Every structure is written in C-alpha cells, then in structure tokens.
Homo-oligomer: A and B are copies of this chain.
C-alpha cells in the first residue's frame, strides 16, 4: 500500500467515509445522510462530499490518495465497478457505473465491493476475526446480512454469497421483507421486528417502544430504541428480541453445520448496540442446533464498530 486510502460505507440512511492509514488507523472520518431523491447521481455527489470532508480532517487531498474503496449494497460487480439495483437506495433501480462516476469526482481510482463482505473482511483482517482463517460475519440490523472468509479469502460465490438472512429457519413461517416465508430475517431483521411490534400494539398490548422512539425524535425503532426498551424490561420488546435471538441461533448454527468456520462475528446496528451479552445469548441459542456441539465456534462482537464498513472498503485498495 502506497500511503493512506479512502473508504466509504454506502448505507440506506447514511454514508460513512474515512481516510485510513497503515493497520487500519482512521486519520479522518465524516458521516452524511444518504440523499432520498436525485438517484445515483445525487448519492455519488454526497459520497464525494463525505470523502472530501474526511480528507480535510486528515490534511490530505482526495486526488493524493492511493485510491478509494466503496462498500455498496445491491448487486456489485467488483471488476467493472457497476452497481445494479441497490435496494434501500432511492432511485437506484437500474445499473450505475459507481466506480467510474465517483472516480471522476475525486480524481482517484475507485474500487467497489459488497458492503457486508467488506465489513466482514475488515473484521477478519483488523478486528475480531484476526486470530482466525475462516469466519462468518453476521450483520444484525434492518436486515440480517452475512459475509464469509474461508481459508483466508473472501467467499463470494457467483457474486451473491452470504445471504444468511434468507436461510429458512421455519418452513411455512412468517413472511419476510423479501416476500418469501420463514427466512431468518423475517424474525431477526429490525424492519420485521418493528412490523411485529406494530401488530402487538394493534392487538392492544402495551409497549414503551414507540414512546421511546418519539421522545428521541426517531421515525423508526432504531437499535438505540430497542436497547432502551430492553433495559426497561418492556415485555413486547423482550419477547420480539427473544424470538430474534432464537432465529439467529438456528440460522447461524445451520450455517456452522454446513461450513464449520473457526469463529462467528456479530456486527450490524443491533449487534453492536446490544453487544457482548447478546453475542453470548446468540451463542447459547446456537448450541441446541450445532451438530458438533463439543467445540462451538466463538461468537464475537465486531471490534471495529460503526467504522468497520468504511475501513473494510478502504482495504479494497491494494
């Protein structure tokens, strides 16, 4: 690596940029909201803005960076830098040459990778996965994403591997945000959990979830809202999170029975917010389903926190 690189984690609600030095050291970082209108063009301009802001913090010019990596949702072609149909991103239904467009704005080389995979890779190289050669990253947030490193290398399959959120944990089970039935994400994704909480309320059950949401000026049940409700021992929140943990246990154990990795890393908004005690609960929920249960893999919380995605993206520049 010839000097610092840039990394951008492109999310549905926020764009996190960082300038990253040797051994993953963050030299500058900025977070901007993801534009809700204007399509890919507006989003790419916001990405460039966030990257420039972090470069200023690091006293660098974007054009002086060795390159900028982007972790993107959607169907990412790492070779061409084209991203197709990134759901969660407004107006980005078709295909868009993300690497090319951002490269022109910043005057540097841009490489693009799958958001969840680059975050897994960051944990593998610099975070909780450092001691291992094979890890499964599980990103527990609005959805449930997965990333794989097998034998020291990212495993992408035909470019769509890692969809642990759509492992079937219950045949004939709940409808998922993806439209299918019984997926892990239908129980453990924050979007599904919020829909479930709304159904409880409609049935007349009491919960502090939506009160906390309003008090904190949120429009959704964020990870912070869930955490506060759990701390107040809210019955509805506790029940929904218990179900989510049970489903995560079954889904991750299924993945482990198939892959037998050395460690599992839990990241994502909820995973990081709820932290160690919940990683332990997930490990306990896996145990009844592990085929080899005398040496369960360690279940660790992502060590790079919210910046893992941007740091991982920066690692795309070699």
A interface residues with partner B (beta carbon < 8 Å): 134, 146, 148, 150-151, 153, 155-164, 166-173, 178, 180-183, 246-247, 250-251, 253-255, 257-262, 288-289, 291-292, 295
Contact residues in B for A134 (Cβ distance below 8 Å): 157
**Are A180 and B288 in contact, with the CB atoms below 8 A?**
yes
Once the chains bind, are B291 and A163 in contact (CB under 8 Å)?
yes
Q: Establish whether residues B146 and A258, one from each chain, have CB atoms under 8 Å apart when the complex forms.
A: yes
Please name 13 pairs of A and B residues whose Cβ atoms are closer than 8 Å in the assembled complex, sorted by A: A157-B260, A161-B258, A161-B259, A162-B260, A163-B260, A166-B254, A166-B257, A169-B170, A180-B288, A180-B289, A181-B288, A183-B289, A258-B259
CB atoms of B259 and A155 under 8 A apart: yes
Chain B residues whose CB sits within 8 angstroms of the CB of A155 once the complex forms: 150-151, 259
Given A150-B150, A180-B288, A180-B289, are A250 and B171 also a contact pair (CB < 8 Å)? yes
Those 10 A-B pairs whose CB atoms lie nearest each other, nearest first:
A157-B260, A161-B260, A163-B257, A167-B254, A166-B291, A168-B250, A163-B291, A166-B257, A160-B260, A160-B292
Residues of B within 8 A of A160 (CB): 260, 291-292
Nearest CB in chain B to that of A168: its residue: B250
Contact, CB under 8 Å: A168 / B169: yes
Cα distance A88–B148 in the bound complex, in angstroms: 33
